Amino acid sequence: MFLGGTVALDGEDLGDLSSIPNNLAAFKQRFRTVFPGEVAGTTSRWARQYLQFVHEVERQDWIVYKSKRTQMVHFGHITGAYRFQPQAGLDHAHLRPVRWVGSQPWGTLGPLAKKALSSRAGFCGLKSELNDVLAAIARLNPTTGA
């Protein structure tokens, strides 16, 4: 979720994940405990996404967020550490501060970037599609590039 100067993930029921070791097995265990009826493949995918969000993302890493509601793609840099901040009425309690540098309409992205952002669920890294995404970012600020 795109919240002003942050990016947020849902799952308040998971509690604060900062105390879970940087270990996929530990994250999988938390997800299996909180969501006991969920399919193992689903909880494994979620665990991997949250592990990256909590432990692997570093300051200055790029983040790309696609809003389904507005069809805008927002680009920014992570600026700080993970924090857990439950808020009344919102389930998006897992936060990372972000300096958003720009946004573009979905239609302006190249086919590889669209494919990457369409096929991803939640938070995850981009692999081979990164060059197409970075080209879109570079168009935001041609004097500094990506």
In this prediction, residue 146 carries a pLDDT of: 41
Q: How far apart are CA 118 and CA 130, in angstroms?
A: 14
Q: Which of 142, 115, 146 is nearest to 129 (CA)?
A: 115
Neighbours of 8 (CB within 10 A): 22
pLDDT digits (tens, 9 = 90+) for 58-79: 888 888 888 888 988 888 889 9
Q: How far apart are CA 53 and CA 124, in angstroms?
A: 8
- Contacts (Cβ under 8 Å, ≥6 apart) of 122: 9, 45, 46, 49
pTM of the model: 0.77
| Region 13-19 average pLDDT | 94
**C-alpha separations of 19 from 81, 116, 118 in Å:** 13, 31, 31
Confidence of residue 14 (pLDDT cuts 50, 70, 90): very high
Asked if 44 contacts 124 with a C-beta cutoff of 8 angstroms, the reply is no
Asked if 79 contacts 59 with a C-beta cutoff of 8 angstroms, the reply is yes
